[in-house]
Each structure stands twice: as structure tokens, then as C-alpha cells.
Amino acid sequence: MGQSSLLAFAHIPKTGGTTINRLLWRTYGIGHVGADFRNPPPVYTLRDLEFDLTLYPFARSIAGHGLKPFVDYGDVGRRMVWFTMLRDPVRRYLSHYQHQYVKGPAKFQLPFPKWMRTFDRDNVMVRFIAGSDDIEAAKEILRERFHCVGIMERFDESLTLMRSNLPAPELRVQYSRPSNVSSSDVKKRIEDNIDRFREEIEYRNMLDLELYRYAIDVLWPRQVAVHGAQPRSGPGSATPVLDRGRELSYLLYRRCLYKPVVWVDRHRQRRHRDGAGAK
């Protein structure tokens, strides 16, 4: 990867992004930015990016739920090499519920039908990519701006495809199977009744279903065609010492420097915003 390029991973919730993030930590160490947005709504802005690059002057990659491809990142945006992972929308939606029920605050611990009708988690993939329910805009952004679009149901192939399609031959693709809240009794209750809920889930996520089909039917074959036969990869049982060291350096730098500085920056912006609103 050229020194001027910045890998930008669009981390859509519940699409295998935790594993990809760890691979980026292990590849780039303190050259990876775990982007934290400052202000609501949860969008990482150009101002946030420029500030963070002063803390990561040798950044090689960046990721975060707030990093959105529809945002204008100015001159830095021209350096960004975007990639992402999509997932079957029904499975993604159920996983989102499981995650919030098990790990979220008490307000999310609702029976699944009530959760569906209380919290808007519909068409998350389209909204993440386009910033709205504009399916055609989402398709265009994926088609024109993304160097690689992976499919979670083809996870191992997607990782190697990313290494092939991105200007990042050094990208680590060996991983350990992560633990997941999907093993909880919540998943079992959902799986036992998935047919009962499927029709409503699909109705609520029609745009995501269309985007997912577009990725599988159009984008995936194009990507594979560039590199011939479908690539193969898989989980590894061991991580080299250097990879562990880079991961540890990322975590220590983030915890000891980045997070405290961002906390101060976030509160400074909030005070400025509140002061401007009082005038």
C-alpha cells in the first residue's frame, strides 16, 4: 500500500467487523485508527478525522461505526480506500437484537416483536452506506467508491479477496474464531421462531435485501473475475508474536493516549456547542 493511502473499513454493525478490526490492529498496530465520533448523531466528521490524524501521523488504516462513506472527508477522502462487509439482512437483524438484548442497557431487553416495533434498526446497511433510505445511492457508492465488498456468508473468501483487491498485500487474514453472543439462549428462542418472524423482518429490511442481492449478483462476481478463481482462506490456530505485539501496541496507545484526548476534545466541543446555543 502506498504511503499516501488510508484503508477505510466501513464497519456496519453485526457483519463480522470485530474480526476484521482485530486483523487491522495486528497488521498495522499504532498505524490503525479506531475512529471515535464526537457529537451526535453518530457520524465521524471531517473535523474528527483531521484531529485524529494529528494523533496518528503514520496512519495506514481507519475503522469505526461512525466512519461513513457518504461523508465528505475533503482532501483526506481522496486518500481513503474503502471496503466493507455485508450480511444476509435477516441474520444481521436478528444478530443486532441478540447483541443489544445481551450486552445493551435494560431498555433493549424486550421480547423480539416489541423490540422490532420500538427501535428502528431497519435497513441498517443501506442507511450506513448512503446516509438515508436511498437504495440507488447506496448501490452507486458501493460500485464507484468501494475497492472491495465482502460477504459475511463467504467470510474466509472475502478476507483473501480483500487482500487481493485492496492495495494491502500485507493484510493479515488468519484469525481465531471469536466468541459471540449468538450462543446465548436468546438466539435459540429466535431460531425456534425464525419462520414466524421472517416475513416481518424481510418487510422491514426490503432495501437491505436489495442491496445484499446486488452485492452477491453484481459486485461479488466482478471482484472475483479480476483475480480469477474464488480465493480461499480460513481461521488460523496461532498468531505470530509480532502480530500480538502490534495488537498490544494499538490497544495501549488507544487506551492511554487516544481515548483520554478524545474525551477532552468531545467535552470541549460540547461546551462550545452549548455556549453557542445559549447566545
Q: For residue 111, tell me if it sits in a domain.
A: no
121-143 per-position pLDDT tens digit: 999 999 999 999 999 999 999 99
Q: Is residue 199 part of a domain?
A: no
In a domain, 148, yes or no: yes
Q: How far apart are CA 108 and CA 273, in angstroms?
A: 30
pLDDT given for residue 247 in this prediction? 95
Rounded to 5 degrees, what are φ and ψ at 88? -45, 120
What pLDDT band is residue 273 in, cutting at 50, 70 and 90?
confident
Give tens-digit pLDDT for 164-212.
Answer: 889 988 998 888 765 554 545 666 767 766 778 899 999 999 999 999 9
Contacts of 161 (CB under 8 A, 6+ apart): 148, 150, 223, 224, 227, 230, 231
Q: What is the mean pLDDT of the chain?
A: 88
Helix (H, G, I), strand (E, B) or coil at 117: helix
Note whether residue 22 is domain-resident: yes
Measuring CA to CA, which residue among 15, 147, 164, 163 is closest to residue 80? Answer: 147
DSSP structure string for 211-240? HHHHIIIIIHHHHHHHTSSPP-----S---
**Quick check: is 113 in a domain?**
no
Is residue 109 in some structural domain? no
| pLDDT band with cut points at 50, 70 and 90 for residue 2 | very low
pLDDT score of 84: 97
Kindly report the pTM of this predicted structure: 0.89
Q: Give the contacts of 210 (CB within 8 A, at least 6 positions apart).
A: 135
Does 39 fall in a domain? yes
Number of structural domains (the chain) is 1
Express each pLDDT in 230-264 by its tens digit: 555 555 545 688 899 999 999 999 999 999 999 99
Closest among 58, 81, 65 to 162, alpha carbons compared: 81
More confident residue, 197 or 145: 145
The domain of 158 spans: 6-87+124-180+207-278
Average pLDDT over residues 152-160: 92
Closest C-alpha to 128, from 65, 179, 197: 65
For residue 246, being part of any structural domain is answered with yes
In the three-class reduction of DSSP (H, G, I as helix; E, B as strand; rest coil), residue 270 is classed as helix
| 1 has pLDDT over 50 | no
- What is the band of 276 on the pLDDT scale with cuts at 50, 70, 90? low
| Residue pLDDT, tens place only, 35-83 | 999 987 789 999 999 999 999 999 999 999 999 999 999 999 999 999 9
Residue 130 corresponds to which cell in the numbers above?
448512503
